[in-house]
Structure 1
Amino acid sequence: MHWKKHVTGLTFSIFFVLSYFTNKYVLSVLKFTYPTLFQGWQTLIGMLLLLLSGKLGWVEISSFSRSAALSWLPGSLLFVGNIYAGSRALARLPIAFFFTLHNASEVVHVFMERLIKRDVSWMKVISVSVVLLSAVSLPLHDPQFDPVGYTWGVIHLCSLGAYRVFQTHFKPNHLSDLEQHYVNYLISLLLLAFAAHPTGDLFGAMKFPFLLSLRFQSGCCASALLGFFLLLATVKLKSGLVSEQCNMWIFLSKVMAICLSPFVFISDVNTPSLACVVFSHIGEVLLVYSDRILR
C-alpha cells in the first residue's frame, strides 16, 4: 500500500538523522578522533549483527564463493576509503558543510558515467554543475575554514562517487546488497585493525579521557547499532521504491539533519556559506528530477 512506502521512508530518515548525529557527537563533541578504531568498532558490530540476523532468518544472506568476494574487493576498498575519510571530515566540519561536500560525490559518479556510457543528459550536467560550484565555493566562504577537514571531505566524496559507479556498473550478479556489505565489513575490519597501530590511533585511544565514561560507551554502542539499522532501512528503501523516490527520501533526510543540527551542535555559518549549502541541495533536487525524466 502507498502508506507503507511513507513509513519505510520515514523510518529511513529517522535512522539516518540519528546515526549521523550520534557519529558527530562521538567524533566532534567528545573528540574521539581515532577513525580506525571508531569505524573498526562499527564494522565489527555491523558484521556480527548481519551474520546473526542471517542465521536467525531475519535477513537473507546466502553462502557465496571466495571468487565472488574477491570480485567485490575493489568496491570494499573504496568503501573503506569512504567511511575513513568521512569520519575525518565529519569530525571537523559542520553537518551542513559535510553534506555539501557529500553531495559532490555525484559529480564523480556522473563524470565516470560519462566515460562509461557516454549518454549523460544535459539536465544531469546542469545539476552536477550546481552541486560542484557549491562545493568549490564553500571553503572560500567558510568563516572557520579547516583545510584538513576539507581535504578529508574531498577524499570522502571521491571514494563515495567511485564506489557508486563500481556498485552500479561492475556489481557481481551473485552478490546481494547485504552480502556486499558483509564483504565490506569484513575487509574494512581487517584493514582498519592493521592500520590502528601505524596511525597511532591505538595508543592515542588508550589515553582518551572519556574512554571509561558512560556517555562515551553509550555513544559508541548507539553509533554501531544505528549504523546497522540504517543499513537495513536503506536496503528496505531501495527494494521497495524506485530510484528517484529513494533519492528523494535521502534528500529529505539530509535536509532534516541540516535543519536540526544547529539545535544540537554549535557551528559558525554565515550567509555566503549557507547559500552554498542551499544551492548544493537545489542541485541535488534537480538531479533527482533529471532521473525521473529519464525513466
Structure 2
Amino acid sequence: MCMKKCLVGLTFCTCYLASYLTNKYVLSVLKFTYPTLFQGWQTLVGGLLLHVSWKLGWVEINSRSRSDVLTWLPASVLFVGIIYAGSRALSRLAIPVFLTLHNAAEVIICGHQKCFRKEKTSPPKICSALFLLAAAGCLPFNDSQFDPDGYFWAVIHLLCVGAYKILQKSQKLNKLSDIDQQYLNYLFSVVLLALAAHPTGDLFSVLDFPFLYFYRFHGSCCASGFLGFFLMFSTMKLKSLMAPGQCAAWIFFAKVITSGLSMLLFDTILTRETMGCLLLGGFGEALLVFSERKGS
C-alpha cells in the first residue's frame, strides 16, 4: 500500500510539473495568449477523455439530474474564472510568482472558516495564512519583472480559487463526487468558453498567430490537453488514497520542484527581495502542510 501511494504521488508530481511547464511554454514562449481558445481546448479534451473513461467503466459518473447541475452551476462559473484568469496571469508571470499568489487563496478559505463558519482554527494554520498573505502582498513591490495585468489576473484567479473551494465544501454539494463535479465543470466550461471566443476577439485574432501552422505549437497544445486531464485524474487519485496531510505534502513537493525547474527553463529574474517573498510563501505553505498533518 505504501508503494502504491508513493507511485501515485510521483505520478501526480510528474503530471503537475509537465502540465505547468507545457502551459508556460505555450503561453509565454509561443505567446498563444487567446485564453478562451486555449482553455476551451483543454476542457474539451478533458471532457472527452473523462466521458470515454466513464463509458469504458474506468470511472463512475452518477449526478446527471437537473437539480445536481443547477446546484453545482455557481461552482462551474467559478471554475471558468479560475482557468481563464489563471491562463492570463501565467502568460505574464513567472511560475514561482504565480504559485505564490495562487497559494494566497488559502487565506480566503481560512478566513471564511474562522469568521463565518466559526470553526476552530489551529495556530499553525493561522500563522500559515498570515505568511501566505504577507508573501503575496509584498511580491508586487519587490518583483523586478512586475506586470500589472499579470498581477490583476492572478488576484482574480486566487479569489475564484478561494470561492470555489468554499463552495466545494458546502454541505449542499457533498452528494456530488469529485468526478461528478469535474465532469460538470468540463461541460459548462466548453460551452461558456466557446460562446465567449467571438465577443473577446480571440476567434479571429488567432488567425494572426505566427505559429498557427507549426508542428511544435500543435504538439504543445495536444500535450497540454492530455496533461491537464492526467493531472486532474492523478489529483483525485491522490486525494482518495491519502490523508489530507499526506496529500498536502505531495502538492507542496510538486510546487517546489516545478518552481525550481521553471527558473532554469524560462527567463526569470530573481532579486534578493523577490526570493525572500517566495521563500516566505514557501514557509507559509510548509506550515499549512504541518497543520494538515497534525489535524489528520
| TM tier relative to shorter chain | over 0.9
- Could you tell me how far 1:114 is from its partner in structure 2? 1.6
Q: 1:103, 1:284 within 8 Å by CA — same for their partners in 2?
A: yes
Q: 1:53, 1:59 within 8 Å by CA — same for their partners in 2?
A: yes
Partner of 2:250: 249
Deviations 1:137-178 (Å, cap 9, x if unpaired)?
A: 011011121010000000101100111111112452332111
Q: 1:72, 1:171 within 8 Å by CA — same for their partners in 2?
A: no
Partner of 2:109: 109
Identity %: 54
**What is the distance in 2 between the residues matched to 1:63 and 1:121?**
35
Deviations 1:118-146 (Å, cap 9, x if unpaired)?
A: 12222211111001000110110111210
**What is the distance in 2 between the residues matched to 1:44 and 1:6?**
30
- Could you tell me how far 1:216 is from its partner in structure 2? 0.5
**What is the distance in 2 between the residues matched to 1:78 and 1:261?**
27
- Could you tell me how far 1:63 is from its partner in structure 2? 5.0
Partner of 2:43: 43
- 1:95 aligned to 2:95? yes
- Could you tell me how far 1:266 is from its partner in structure 2? 1.1
Partner of 1:160: 161
**What is the distance in 2 between the residues matched to 1:136 and 1:194?**
35
Question: Runs of 4+ in structure 1 displaced over 4 angstroms?
Answer: none
Partner AA of 2:110 in structure 1:
V
Partner of 1:169: 170
**What is the distance in 1 between the residues matched to 2:171 and 2:224?**
30
**What is the distance in 2 between the residues matched to 1:8 and 1:227?**
16
- 1:261 aligned to 2:295? no
Deviations 1:10-52 (Å, cap 9, x if unpaired)?
A: 0000000000100000011000000000000001111111001
Length, aligned pairs only: 295
Partner AA of 2:8 in structure 1:
T
Moved more, 116-125 or 139-148: 116-125
- Aligned 1:1-295 pairs, distance under 5 A: 1-62=1-62, 64-118=64-118, 119-170=120-171, 172-295=173-296
**What is the distance in 2 between the residues matched to 1:262 and 1:69?**
41
Moved more, 121-130 or 83-92: 121-130
Q: 2:33, 2:88 within 8 Å by CA — same for their partners in 1?
A: yes
Moved more, 63-72 or 5-14: 63-72
**What is the distance in 1 between the residues matched to 2:138 and 2:186?**
34
- Could you tell me how far 1:263 is from its partner in structure 2? 2.1
- Could you tell me how far 1:64 is from its partner in structure 2? 2.1
Deviations 1:74-100 (Å, cap 9, x if unpaired)?
A: 110111111100001100000010011
**What is the distance in 2 between the residues matched to 1:210 and 1:184?**
30
**What is the distance in 2 between the residues matched to 1:284 and 1:267?**
22
**What is the distance in 2 between the residues matched to 1:97 and 1:217?**
27
Which consecutive unaligned segments of at least 5 residues does structure 2 have? none
Provide the TM-score with structure 1 as the length reference. 0.97
**What is the distance in 2 between the residues matched to 1:67 and 1:117?**
25
Q: SS at the partner of 2:210? A: coil
**What is the distance in 1 between the residues matched to 2:173 and 2:138?**
38
**What is the distance in 2 between the residues matched to 1:35 and 1:252?**
28
**What is the distance in 1 between the residues matched to 2:207 and 2:179?**
33
Provide the TM-score with structure 2 as the length reference. 0.97
**What is the distance in 2 between the residues matched to 1:22 and 1:170?**
36
Task: Classify 1:11/1:136 alpha carbon distance in 2 versus 1 (closer, same or farther; 3 Å).
Answer: same
Moved more, 5-14 or 165-174: 165-174
**What is the distance in 2 between the residues matched to 1:232 and 1:58?**
11
